[in-house]
Amino acid sequence: MPPSQEIAQLGIVVVIVLLIVFYGGTMLMTLGIGRKRENADGYMTAGNRIGFGISAASMTATWIWASSMYASVTAGYTYGVSGPIHYGLWGALMILFIYPFGKRIRAVAPRAHTLAEVMYARHGRSSQLMLAGSNVLGSLISLTSNFIAGGALIAMLSPLSFGTGILIVAGGVLLYTLWSGFRASVLTDFAQVLCMLGAAVVVIPVIFFAAGGPGMFEAGVAAGSVTPQQQDFLSSEAFLNQGAPYIAAVLAYAIGNQTIAQRLFAVREDLIKPTFITATVGYGATVIGVGMLGVMALYLGITPLDGDVNNLLPQMAATYLPWALLALAFLMIIGALSSTADSDLSALSSIVMADVYGQSVGKDKANPRTMLLIGRITMIVATGAALFFATSQFNILDLLVFVGALWGCLVFPVIASFYWKKVTNMAFTVSVIAALVVFLPVRFEWVSLTGVLALPIEVLATVGIGVVLGIMAFGFFGLRVGVGVGIAATLAAAPFTLFFLRDYTVLSASLVAYAVSFLVCWALSVRSKQRFDFATIRRLTGDFDTGETPVTGAPADDDSSRRPGDGTPAHARD
Amino acid sequence: MTIALTAYVLVWPVIVAGVLAVISRGFFRELRAAKKEGRPII
């Protein structure tokens, strides 16, 4: 017998007190790190020497956003016991698989601020714009999504309206991020990770036993609430609809997300590996664990409030938790969405500071004070834009799909650009555009995947499988193994994917994006005469704020500073 | 099957607790070191 669909609310006073304690507490934390004269580079990457505790907490907190908790619960409710694995495990691997590339990126550009800035030094303007544009769009969408999640949560658990809720969340996040930027974001991430992970440790078992404990599983099967596929740990339905598209996205989200890149440039170089591994386990266990609430809801035969599966997480918490633990669960979700939202604000400000101002007006004479002002204005404008999108009828999901695809198109050209001297700006740009041109009609089903058109798409998607697995293997084991795994995976997958993948357009489209960008980038680069000197990147990406105002491109003694009077890549001047 | 499913649900909070301990230990170690050296933690 499913429980009553009425949910308990925390009440207006309790919610306001909790929000004041949460945002007031984080604000107090940031006051402790406030500086009379903030450093522009510190505002973006905190001096590139963050320790393990803060960086692991920050990476974990940033990667866990409210949507990932909601989506994992939805996966558990929809696909059963394997659902949360097919959401959380692949999301966690996004962090793990990027760290070998992260080490290479840091070695090539030890004091950079954004990946787009590095692409500018490597290739030039068009590559930088593609990466920076996708980063901006992605962070803005993420920010909007977190505001929406906060507004919806506050509206559900208190008499406050959705509009009031998003205003409180947006104001709270902006309040503590605006002054100290990235340093505030990573420091408060530790407190937020305590909230999130601490709450997950308590809330999951309490709900499990309050909802009936082990007996719920037999009762659920007896009541016919669960299908055989939903009881199966190796559910093909869960893999093909949920897991496989996520595997394809593993590298795309890690490469395309400036919040990850920013932490990569901030953490002490020798701590990249332990930081990323800890964050992988922390993210995976938390998100999969929260997803178990969806599995419980499925076995208990619960119907989502208003038919919306996104309501399941607060609904389960409000139904089964006593008042004090409901408040803790509330803070868990507020912590998840705030930590990601502040990271998005920092990411957006860094992109505008380093990639827009730093590579245009301030290319040869960057003024750190102007940079900081621009960074802070960017945060305010981004918050306003996200509030506008959150309250308008904009289709966030379509935008997210588009940005995810753009990131998928960028993965091979970006990674290859850090290892292969022959990759040119032309190869980078054309391969990304070509991949997008093929991706869009497949993903949005503008062309029907039947008849003669289906087979070439399936062939490309099969090559895409080889590209994804080959890149992953390359990161850990080098070129020879990477190529071997790529070829073997393509050949091994072909008997299963041909005449089959046409029914799975989301998966096919993602794989096609990888395949086309790889094929075009490789074909245009393999005969190129360019032999790029990677030391150029180190010279062209460095600190903007060297203590002198304005920075005139004057070199410091070491070669990590910018070349005097020269912000332009050597090849771009030719 | 019931025991396996119960373990499957409850193992995640245990792992999360372990990660939380590792992160907290790292953070407080860095905090102590920063205080000792008289510099800000970040």
What one-character-per-residue DSSP string does A513-528 give? HHHHHHHHHHHHHTT-
User: Is residue A221 helix, strand or coil?
Assistant: helix
CB contact (8 A) between residue B5 and residue A50: no
Contacts of residue A33 in chain B, CB cutoff 8 Å? 40-42
Structure confidence at residue A7 (pLDDT): 62
Q: Provide residues of B within 8 Å CB-CB of chain A.
A: 1-3, 5-6, 8-10, 12-13, 15-17, 19-20, 22-31, 40-42
How far separated are the first and last CA of chain B, in Å rounded? 49
Report helix, strand and coil shares of chain A as percent, to nearest 5.
Answer: 75, 0, 25
Q: Could you give the CA distance from residue A288 to residue A365 in angstroms, rounded to a whole number?
A: 48
Tell me if chain B has a CB within 8 Å of the CB of A193.
yes
Domain limits, chain B: 1-42
Structure confidence at residue A561 (pLDDT): 42
Count other C-beta atoms under 10 Å from residue A228's C-beta: 9
Q: Which residue of B has its CA nearest to A187?
A: B42
Q: Could you give the CA distance from residue A132 to residue A343 in angstroms, rounded to a whole number?
A: 16
CB contact (8 A) between residue B22 and residue A56: yes
Answer whether A175's CB lies under 8 Å from A383's CB: no
Contacts of residue B42 in chain A, CB cutoff 8 Å? 33, 46, 50, 54, 183, 186-187
Tell me if chain B has a CB within 8 Å of the CB of A186.
yes
Give me the residue from A197, A208, A292 closest to B20, CB to CB. A197
Domain A12-392: what homologous superfamily?
Sodium/glucose cotransporter (1.20.1730.10)
Q: Could you give the CA distance from residue A355 to residue A349 in angstroms, rounded to a whole number?
A: 10
CB contact (8 A) between residue A217 and residue B15: no
Q: Which residue of B has its CA nearest to A216?
A: B2
Q: Which of A455, A410, A363 is nearest to A261 (CA)?
A: A410
A residues 283..312 contacting B (CB < 8 A): 285-286, 288-289, 292, 295-296
CB contact (8 A) between residue B16 and residue A52: no
Q: Could you give the CA distance from residue A138 to residue A337 in angstroms, rounded to a whole number?
A: 15
Contacts of residue A197 in chain B, CB cutoff 8 Å? 16-17, 19-20, 23
Q: Which amino acid is it at A509?
A: A
Give me the residue from A56, A205, A217 closest to B23, CB to CB. A56
Nearest CA distance, A399 vs chain B (angstrom): 32
Could you give the dihedral angle defined by the CA atoms of residues A329, A332, A336 and A338, in that order, rounded to the nearest 10 degrees? 100
**Which of A292, A295, A328, A339 should be substituted to probe chain B, the one whose Cβ sees the most B Cβ atoms within 10 Å?**
A292
Contacts of residue B39 in chain A, CB cutoff 8 Å? none
Nearest CA distance, A30 vs chain B (angstrom): 11
Structure confidence at residue A353 (pLDDT): 94
Number of H helices, E strands in chain A: 25, 0
Give the burial string for A280-309 (b: 16+ CB within 10 Å, else e). Answer: bbbbbbbbbbbbbbbbbbbbbbbebbeeeb
Q: Could you give the CA distance from residue A236 to residue A73 in angstroms, rounded to a whole number?
A: 19
Nearest CA distance, A135 vs chain B (angstrom): 25
Hey, what are A551's tokens? 């920075």
Interval A557-568: pLDDT, tens: 334 344 333 334
CB contact (8 A) between residue B13 and residue A200: yes
Give me the residue from B23, B26, B42 closest to A186, CB to CB. B42
Q: Could you give the CA distance from residue A448 to residue A509 in angstroms, rounded to a whole number?
A: 12
**Which of B9, B31, B37 should be substituted to probe chain A, the one whose Cβ sees the most A Cβ atoms within 10 Å?**
B9
* Spacing of C-alpha A387 from chain mean position: 20
* Three-state SS letters, A443-495: HCCCCCCCHHHHHHHHHHHHHHHHHHHHHHHHHHHCHHHHHHHHHHHHHHHHH
CB contact (8 A) between residue B26 and residue A193: no
Answer whether A280's CB lies under 8 Å from A93's CB: yes
Nearest CA distance, B35 vs chain A (angstrom): 13
Region(s) of chain A under CATH 1.20.1730.10 = 12-392
Q: What is the DSSP string of A162-206?
A: HHHHHHHHHHHHHHHHTTTHHHHHHHHHHHHHHHHHHHHHHHHHH
Answer whether A26's CB lies under 8 Å from A174's CB: no
CB contact (8 A) between residue B13 and residue A205: yes
Hey, what are A513's tokens? 């994006």
CB contact set of A502 (below 8 Å; sequence gap of 6+): A449, A450, A454, A457, A458, A508
How far separated are the first and last CA of chain A, in Å rounded? 74
CB contact (8 A) between residue A289 and residue B13: yes
How many residues would you count in chain A?
574
Give me the residue from B2, B10, B42 closest to A33, CB to CB. B42
**Number of residue pairs across A and B with CB atoms under 8 Å?**
104
Structure confidence at residue A570 (pLDDT): 36
Nearest CA distance, B10 vs chain A (angstrom): 6
Tell me if chain B has a CB within 8 Å of the CB of A206.
no
Tell me if chain B has a CB within 8 Å of the CB of A472.
no
CB contact (8 A) between residue A54 and residue B41: yes
The upper half-sphere exposure of residue A345, i.e. CA atoms within 13 Å in the direction of its Cβ, equals 37
CA distances from A243 to A238, A486, A528 (A): 6, 20, 38
Q: Which residues of chain A have pLDDT under 50?
A: 1, 551-574
The upper half-sphere exposure of residue A479, i.e. CA atoms within 13 Å in the direction of its Cβ, equals 4
ipTM of the complex model: 0.97
